[in-house]
């Protein structure tokens, strides 16, 4: 297709949805992708750019001039525009902003850039439809026709006082089902949900998903309407959040994808592997400390992988449930009652598993005392592992640290060490070594 047949290519690509064009571009090499971006008009390409993979977008933007980027940005909603500008290198940012011709758009983007990315302000768009409480339905409809042209999707219409204070909302449906002469103040719903511009995006996501909202207005401390956040941005936030937690649980510390370079992937993976290495060395030192038991009870050493694995698995299970509960905000009751419950649960699981282990060791080794020592240790190890898995994320959360880092390698490694230490200590006591 790449044989310079520009016209045909242009017609072909215009038939695709911009998300599909972006997918095609992600597959092409940089020169081809830049070529196509320059070929299409900025109305289409600005949408395509937004849908591109972040790494690819960055590279394509490097190949465009300040003026070309400013033209793309002109076509975007303010929230997307601010996101793209944030991705540019420091030195090009100001130049691009000054090249935006529409002065209002320029000022709005400057405002958005001032907010922290992780707050409602960093996510909101300035595009919204607002009406003043004193307008009539007929006047309102007339003016909305003007405002709505700039807004891709209307959702709610926000009702403000003449000081721009948010006091209510309306749906387009309310408006078209109302009588022309009614006052806005009379038909507006005053129970409007909103978030503060400094609220954390995760809280915004929680509010929107709890109340099933599709858009939420953003206000400042004086209730002045500043912008709105739509559900599609929140869907992206939720997805990123879920992916981050999943990767943390698997021991991957940066946001990486399967297609990233080996170097990027190594940087994301090796810190956790180092942690595992240190844990393994710790386990080695513990076992070395018990090496005298070796001559008589070598069998004890053959069960360390089992003990370590069980400690790790139980720890990950209990921490995962707590991390998820914290994320969904449905962990109730005190830490103590939570630990008590986990202790009972772990004891139940531990006893069931220990019975099987006891039978296996007894039958295979014909040595009930050793079998007993190993099985009792397993129960204690599982209980301790469950308690650690429950306590650590709750503790981190209380301290304001993301509890998701507590799952995965961190819990596994510490439980490995504690497990092996407990195991040898108990076995030594029971067997009287």
Cα–Cα distance measured from residue 285 to residue 267, given in angstroms and rounded to the nearest whole number: 28
Q: Output the smallest distance, CB 64 to a second copy, in A.
A: 24
Place of tokens 């092409």: 28
Q: What angle do CA 87, 90, 96 make, to 5 degrees?
A: 75
What long-range pairs does 145-153 form, CB within 8 A, spacing at least 24? Answer: 151/127, 152/77, 152/127, 153/230
The dihedral region occupied by 190, where left means phi > 0, alpha psi between -120 and 50, and beta the remainder, is alpha
Q: Is 357 in the site for a second copy (CB under 8 A)?
A: yes
Dihedral sign, CA of 280, 285, 291, 293?
A: negative
Q: Output the smallest distance, CB 133 to a second copy, in A.
A: 20
Q: Is 139 in the site for a second copy (CB under 8 A)?
A: no
Site string for a second copy, 3-42 (x = CB under 8 A): --------------x-x-------x---------------
User: At residue 165, what are phi and psi to the nearest 5 degrees?
Assistant: -75, 135
Stretch of 30-38, 65-73, 131-139, 240-248 lying at the interface with a second copy (CB under 8 A): 240-248
Near a second copy in 329-348, by CB under 8 A:
330-332, 338, 341, 344-345, 348
Stretch of 55-63, 91-99, 216-224, 352-360 lying at the interface with a second copy (CB under 8 A): 352-360
- Size of interface with a second copy, in residues (CB under 8 A): 107
Site string for a second copy, 141-180 (x = CB under 8 A): x--xx--xx-x-xx----------------xxx--xx---
Cα–Cα distance measured from residue 302 to residue 431, given in angstroms and rounded to the nearest whole number: 16
Q: Output the smallest distance, CB 382 to a second copy, in A.
A: 8
Residue among 110 and 282 whose Cβ is closer to a second copy: 282
Cα–Cα distance measured from residue 245 to residue 224, given in angstroms and rounded to the nearest whole number: 35
Q: Output the smallest distance, CB 353 to a second copy, in A.
A: 5
Cα–Cα distance measured from residue 427 to residue 198, given in angstroms and rounded to the nearest whole number: 55
Q: Is 393 in the site for a second copy (CB under 8 A)?
A: no
DSSP 160: E
Cα–Cα distance measured from residue 194 to residue 197, given in angstroms and rounded to the nearest whole number: 9
Stretch of 54-62, 67-75, 217-225, 277-285 lying at the interface with a second copy (CB under 8 A): 277-285
């Amino acid at each position: 297709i790449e044989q310079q047949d520009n016209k045909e290519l242009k017609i072909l690509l215009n038939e695709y949805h911009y998300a599909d064009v972006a997918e095609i571009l992600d597959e092409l090499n940089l020169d081809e992708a830049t070529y196509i971006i320059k070929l299409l008009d900025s109305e289409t390409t600005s949408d395509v750019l937004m849908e591109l993979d972040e790494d690819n977008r960055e590279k394509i933007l490097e190949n465009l001039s300040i003026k070309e980027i400013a033209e793309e940005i002109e076509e975007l909603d303010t929230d997307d525009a601010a996101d793209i500008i944030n991705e540019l290198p420091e030195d090009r940012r100001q130049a691009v902003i000054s090249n935006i011709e529409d002065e209002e758009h320029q000022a709005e983007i400057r405002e958005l850039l001032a907010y922290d990315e992780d707050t409602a302000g960093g996510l909101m768009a300035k595009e919204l439809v607002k009406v003043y409480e004193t307008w009539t339905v007929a006047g309102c409809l007339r003016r909305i026709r003007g405002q709505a042209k700039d807004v891709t999707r209307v959702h709610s219409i926000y009702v403000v006082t003449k000081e721009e204070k948010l006091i209510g909302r309306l749906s387009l449906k309310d408006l078209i089902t109302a009588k022309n002469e009614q006052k806005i103040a009379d038909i507006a719903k005053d129970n409007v949900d909103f978030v503060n511009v400094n609220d954390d995006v995760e809280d915004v996501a929680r509010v929107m998903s709890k109340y099933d909202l599709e858009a939420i207005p953003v206000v400042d401390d004086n209730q002045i309407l500043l912008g709105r956040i739509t559900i599609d941005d929140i869907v992206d936030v939720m997805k990123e959040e879920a992916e981050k937690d999943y990767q943390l649980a698997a021991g991957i510390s940066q946001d990486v994808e399967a297609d990233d370079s080996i170097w990027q992937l190594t940087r994301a993976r090796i810190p956790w592997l180092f942690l595992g290495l240190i844990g393994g060395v710790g386990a080695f030192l513990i076992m070395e400390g018990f090496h005298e038991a070796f001559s008589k009870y070598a069998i004890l050493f053959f069960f360390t992988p089992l003990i370590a694995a069980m400690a790790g698995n139980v720890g990950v299970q209990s921490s995962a449930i707590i991390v998820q509960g914290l994320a969904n905000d449905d962990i109730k009751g005190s830490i103590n009652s939570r630990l008590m419950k986990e202790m009972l649960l772990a004891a139940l699981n531990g006893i069931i598993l220990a019975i099987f282990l006891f039978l296996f060791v007894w039958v295979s080794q014909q040595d009930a005392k050793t079998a007993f020592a190993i099985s009792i240790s397993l129960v204690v190890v599982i209980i301790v592992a469950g308690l650690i898995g429950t306590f650590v994320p709750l503790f981190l959360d209380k301290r304001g640290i993301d509890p998701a880092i507590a799952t995965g390698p961190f819990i596994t490694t510490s439980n490995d060490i504690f497990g092996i230490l407990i195991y040898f200590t108990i076995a030594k006591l029971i067997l009287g070594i």
